[in-house]
Chain A
Amino acid sequence: MGKRLSVAVQGFHPSSFLSEETARLRELAQDKKVISAVSGGVDSTVATVVAREALGDKLLPIMIDTGFLRVGEPERVKERLAKSPTSLKVRLVHASGRFLASIKGEGTAEEKRKKFRETFYQILKEEAQKEGCEYILQGTIAPDWIETQGGIKTQHNILEQVGIDPASTYGFKIIEPLADLYKDQVRMLGRHLNLPSELSERQPFPGPGLLVRCIGNVTKEKIRVLKEATKIVETSLAPFNYEQYFAAVIENGFAKDPSLKTIAETASEALRLPKSEVHVDVFEDRVTGVKGDQRCYGLLAGVKLSEESRETYGWLQDKLRQLQTGIVEKFPDITRVALLVKERRGSGTLSILVRAISTRDFMTAAVSPVPWKILKDIAQQVLKEANVTRVYYDITPKPPGTVEFE
C-alpha cells in the first residue's frame, strides 16, 4: 500500500499544480473579468475554486439550467456553493425552454449532443457579451477531449481540440485548468483545496445531463419519468460507494432484424440454460459503445430469464459477464446487454435501465455487483410509474459499453 501511495504522489502534486496554474491564470486574464461555467459537478467546481484563488472577484461563476438537471438541482447547487469554504456567488441562467426546442426532433445521440453544445455556447456567448468577458473558464478534464478527439462521443465542452475556434465562432477564448487531469486527480486537488467531501467525492453527472440518459427521441414525458427514476436509483444506491450510478430511459420498440434471430440461443448457451428459459428483446433505439478504440453506435439486448433463473443468476456476476461477452462477441452490431429485473403488464411504453459502475478514471469501467434484492426494490418503486413496464440492469463494462448510454 505504502508503495502505491508514494507512486501516486510522484505523478501529481496538488500544491505545485495549484501554484503553477494560478500563476498561469493570472497571466492570461490580465485583471479582466472571466466567466466560469459551473454545473455543480466535481470538475467545474474544482476548476472554479482554482480560478477564484487566482482571480478573486474577477471570476464570475454562472450556472445554466438546461432543463436536463436533476429535480431541484440548480437551486441546490447555487445554495451549496454559496456556503463556506467555496463561498461562490453563482448566477443562474434559466434556459430549459431553449434547450428542449433546440433538440426537438433529433433522435440520434451525436446530433443531440451537438445541438446541446451549440445552445450551450450560444448562451455563454450572450453572457460573455453582457459582461464584456474575453475568457470562459470550464472544467474540461482529460477523458473529455480524449473521447471527443477519438470520435467516441461529442462532449459538450470540447471545441478547440476538434478544430472549432471559439474566438471566431463565439467571440471568446476558453481556459481549461484541468484539461490534463483525470477524475481521481481532480478529487485529490479538491481535497487539497479543503472542499467538503459532498463536493470533492460527488459522483459525476454528464454536462448534457439527463439528455444523454434519455435514449432516442426526447419528450417532456420521458424526461419527467427519468427524473423520477433518477431520484429512486440515486437514493437506493447512494450507500454503496459505486463511482457512478444512475437511471436511463428507453422506449419499448424492438428491432426485427432477421440476423438477430439466434440471439436467444446464444444467450441460453452462454448461461447453460434451456432455450425455453431465455428470451431476448433487442431495442430499436441505438446506444453508444466503444470497440477497438472506435465508436460503436449499436444495439442494446435486453435479456429476460424465467423468474426462477433470474433469482439465481441475478446474483452471479461471473455468469452475467459470460452472457454479455457471449452476445457481444457473436453479434457485432450489439454493444450493450442488460438483464431484466422486473416487468409488469400494462400499456406503458417505456423501460428504465439501471447502471452502476466502479472505476478509477472513467477510461474503463467495471459493472458494480448491485445486490439483486436492491435491484428488485428499485424496480418495484420505478414500476409504480404508469408509463414504465420494465426495469433492466446494464451488465456491460466499458469497453464495449461507455459509462453513459449516449
Chain B
Amino acid sequence: MTTIPVVYVKGQYNHLIVRNLKELGADSKLLPPSVSLEQLESMNPDALVMGGGPQSVRSRDKLTGELADAARLIRQVKMPMLCICVTHQLLATAFGGVTEAARKPEFGPVEISVIDEGRILEGLGPSFTAWESHNDEVVRKPDGFHVIAKSSNCSVEAMRHEKRDIFGVQFHPEVSHTMKGVDLFKNFLGIVEEHKRT
C-alpha cells in the first residue's frame, strides 16, 4: 500500500486531504509539522502532502510555529511532495521565490487556466473551476520551477519542480466543489507509485 501522510498546518481542509487519499486506496493520516525526520521515516512514507493553514508566509516576515516546522520539512524531505495553499507559498519562498499580499484575494470559485498539464494536471486542461481561500499569493516563482497554471487574478496557481516530483498548488483540490480535484490526487498517486518503482 502507498503511504502518504498529510502535514496538518491547522487549515480547515487538511483532514479532507486524508479523506481523498484514503478514498483513492492510499494509507494516510494527519501529522503535526513538528514531526522529526526519524519519526517520519519510521512510518515508511512514499510521499508527503502539506495542507493549507491560517498563517502568513510573506517573504519578509520571519516564519513562526507550524510554518517554520513545515519549511524545515520541505527542505529535508527527499520524496515526492504536494504542497497546497499556504504551503505552496512556503514551497515557493523555501526555494527562493517571493510571496506577497495578493492584489486581488480569492475566496470561493475561481477559473484556473492550465498552462502545461504535465503528469500532475493531466486531464484538467484547458481550464477548470477550483475553490480557493487566500489573502497572499506567490508573485515570483522560485528558480528551478515551472508555472503550470494561473488565474485572472493570480499568476502562479500551480507549479512544479523541473527535476524532482515536487508540486505546489494555490487552489484546494481536496474540497468537493473543485472540479476534477480528485483527478489531481489520482495523478499525484500515479507519480508516487512510479517513483516507488524506480
Q: Which residues of A contact B (CB under 8 A)?
A: 7-8, 10-12, 142-143, 146-147, 149-152, 182, 290-294, 321, 324-325, 328-329, 332, 359-361, 363-366, 397-400
Flag if A359 contacts B176 (CB, 8 Å): yes
Alpha-carbon distance between A147 and B133 when the two chains are bound, in angstroms: 15
What's the nearest-Cβ distance from chain B to residue A141, in Å? 11
Please, which residue of chain B has its CB at the minimum distance from the CB of A142? B15
Residue from B10, B22, B86, B182 within 8 A of A149 (CB atoms): B10
Flag if A292 contacts B105 (CB, 8 Å): yes
What's the nearest-Cβ distance from chain A to residue B104, in Å? 5
Those of B141-156 within 8 Å (CB) of chain A: none
Flag if B108 contacts A293 (CB, 8 Å): no
A182 and B19 contact, Cβ closer than 8 Å, known pairs A291-B133, A292-B136, A325-B108? yes
Dominant secondary structure at the B interface: mixed
What's the nearest-Cβ distance from chain A to residue B194, in Å? 21
What's the nearest-Cβ distance from chain A to residue B173, in Å? 12
Flag if B109 contacts A321 (CB, 8 Å): yes
Alpha-carbon distance between A364 and B11 when the two chains are bound, in angstroms: 13
A399 and B133 contact, Cβ closer than 8 Å, known pairs A7-B182, A151-B54, A293-B52? yes
Flag if A293 contacts B133 (CB, 8 Å): yes
Please, which residue of chain B has its CB at the minimum distance from the CB of A184? B176
Alpha-carbon distance between A364 and B13 when the two chains are bound, in angstroms: 9
Q: List 26 A-B contacts (CB under 8 A).
A: A7-B24, A7-B182, A8-B23, A10-B25, A11-B22, A146-B12, A147-B12, A149-B10, A150-B10, A151-B54, A152-B12, A290-B133, A291-B105, A291-B135, A292-B136, A293-B54, A293-B85, A293-B133, A321-B108, A329-B105, A361-B176, A364-B176, A365-B177, A366-B177, A397-B107, A400-B133
What's the nearest-Cβ distance from chain A to residue B99, in Å? 12
Asked if B63 CB lies within 8 Å of chain A CBs, one says no
Q: Which residues of B contact A (CB under 8 A)?
A: 10-16, 19, 22-25, 52-54, 85-86, 104-105, 107-109, 131, 133-136, 172, 175-177, 182
Q: Which A residues lie within 8 Å of B131 (CB)?
A: 364, 399
Please, which residue of chain A has its CB at the minimum distance from the CB of B53? A293
Alpha-carbon distance between A128 and B133 when the two chains are bound, in angstroms: 42
What's the nearest-Cβ distance from chain A to residue B174, in Å? 9
Nearest 4 CB-CB pairings of A with B:
A11-B23, A400-B107, A360-B176, A293-B54
Alpha-carbon distance between A8 and B22 when the two chains are bound, in angstroms: 9
Residue from B52, B105, B109 within 8 A of A397 (CB atoms): B109
Q: Which A residues lie within 8 Å of B86 (CB)?
A: 292-293
Q: Which A residues lie within 8 Å of B25 (CB)?
A: 10
Flag if B23 contacts A7 (CB, 8 Å): yes
Flag if A399 contacts B104 (CB, 8 Å): no
Alpha-carbon distance between A10 and B22 when the two chains are bound, in angstroms: 7
Q: Which B residues lie within 8 Å of A294 (CB)?
A: 54, 135
Please, which residue of chain A has its CB at the minimum distance from the CB of B182? A7
A400 and B108 contact, Cβ closer than 8 Å, known pairs A142-B15, A293-B52, A361-B176? yes
Alpha-carbon distance between A278 and B112 when the two chains are bound, in angstroms: 30
Q: Which A residues lie within 8 Å of B14 (CB)?
A: 146
Q: Which A residues lie within 8 Å of B182 (CB)?
A: 7
Q: A397-B107, A399-B108 are in contact. List 15 more A-B contacts (CB 8 A).
A: A11-B23, A12-B23, A182-B16, A290-B12, A291-B107, A291-B133, A293-B54, A293-B85, A321-B108, A329-B105, A363-B13, A363-B176, A364-B177, A399-B133, A400-B107
Please, which residue of chain A has its CB at the minimum distance from the CB of B110? A325
